[in-house]
Amino acid sequence: MSEIDQPKDQRSEPRPDREALPPHQRRERIQMLVDERGFVRVSELRAAFGVSGVTARSDLDALEAAGSLQRVHGGAVPAPTAGTGARPNRESSFEEALAASVLPKQQIGVLAASLVASGQSVILDVGTTTLAVARALLARTELTDVVVITNGLSIALELEPAIPRFTVIVTGGSLRPLQHSLVEPLVQAVLGQVHADLAFIGCNGVDAERGVTNINLPEAGVKTLMLAAATRAIVVADGSKLGQVHLGRIGALSAFDTLVTDADASAGLVAPLRDAGLTVLQPD
C-alpha cells in the first residue's frame, strides 16, 4: 500500500530538516538576515530554511556563542557594538532596543508615569522607553479616565488590559515593521484633530544646541506632529542619548518642557541641558 493510500493517522510526518542547507551555509544566511533586518524570528527561520524550531534555535545559539548576534525572546538581533557611548550608525529594531538599557528604561517609565493624573489625555510615541512608560501607567491602578493616543502597536496592545479605565486611540498610518510603528500617510489626520495634555516623546539624541533628533526621518516627522499636538512635551531618553545628534530634527530644546532620564545619566551631559532651560528629572 502506498503512503497516499494509507489512513491519515498512519502516514509518516514530513521531516522538516530533510532538505536543509548544510549548517555553515544556513548560519551564514541567517547572519545576513539579522544584519539586514535588525531582527529575525525563529518562526521565520523555520519557514525560510525548512528546518525545525529546534534546529533554528540551535543555529541562533551557535551564532550567539561566536559573538555574531544576540539572542532575544522569539529570535535574535545583531550583536551589540563595542563602546556604549558610541553613536549608532543604524536604526535598532524594536526587539534589539528592548533588550538594551532595561533598568534605565524602567526607571524612566516609572518617573514619567508619575506625571500623569486621572482625567488627562496623553500622547505616547513609539519606542521601548515609551513602552516602559505605558507599563508604568498600567501599573497605576488608581488612574482613571485617561486617554492615550499612540502610533505604537506594541504600546496599544500593552495598554489593552487597562480598558475601560483608559481609552486607547491608535493613530492609523503606514506600518513600519522595524519599530511596529505607524507613520505617514494618515497619521496627521488624527494628530491634527487632537490636543493632549501631555506628550511623551522618545528620540535618539538630545543636545543643547541641536535639540531633539531621531535617526529615522519618517519617525521624526510623526514626533514633530506629536510635539505640536500637546500642551506639555516631555522627552524620555536614557543617558546614552544625551549629547547625541541624528539626521531627523524633532524640535528645538526650547519646544520641550521636561527631560526624564535615568539615575546614571552623566552629570556632564545633563548640565548643558539644564543651562539651556530644560527641566531634567532623574530618579533619586
The residue extents of the domains of the chain are 20-81, 102-281
Instruction: Answer positive or negative: Cα dihedral of 101, 203, 195, 184.
Output: negative
Residue 99 has pLDDT above 80, yes or no: no
Cell 488590559 identifies what position? 161
**Is the full-model pTM beyond 0.85?**
no
What confidence category does residue 19 fall into, taking pLDDT thresholds of 50, 70 and 90? low
- pLDDT of 98 reads 73
Three-point CA angle 156, 105, 134, nearest 5°? 20
pLDDT in tens, 206-261: 999 999 999 999 999 999 999 999 999 999 999 999 999 999 999 999 999 999 99
- pLDDT of 41 reads 87
- pLDDT of 81 reads 61
pLDDT in tens, 79-89: 866 544 455 55
What confidence category does residue 21 fall into, taking pLDDT thresholds of 50, 70 and 90? confident
The HSE-up count of residue 104 (CA atoms within 13 Å, CB side) is 21
- pLDDT of 69 reads 85
As given in the structure block, the three cell numbers for residue 261 are 532620564
Average pLDDT over residues 199-211: 97
- pLDDT of 177 reads 87
Q: Look at the domain 102-281 and name its fold.
A: Rossmann fold (3.40.50)
Most confident of 9-18, 68-77, 178-187, 229-238: 229-238
Average pLDDT over residues 28-36: 86
Domain 20-81 in CATH 2.60.15.10: no
The larger pLDDT score, comparing residue 16 to residue 56, is at 56
Average pLDDT over residues 72-82: 76
- Residue 103 burial (C-beta neighbours within 10 Å; 0-12, 13-18, 19+): exposed
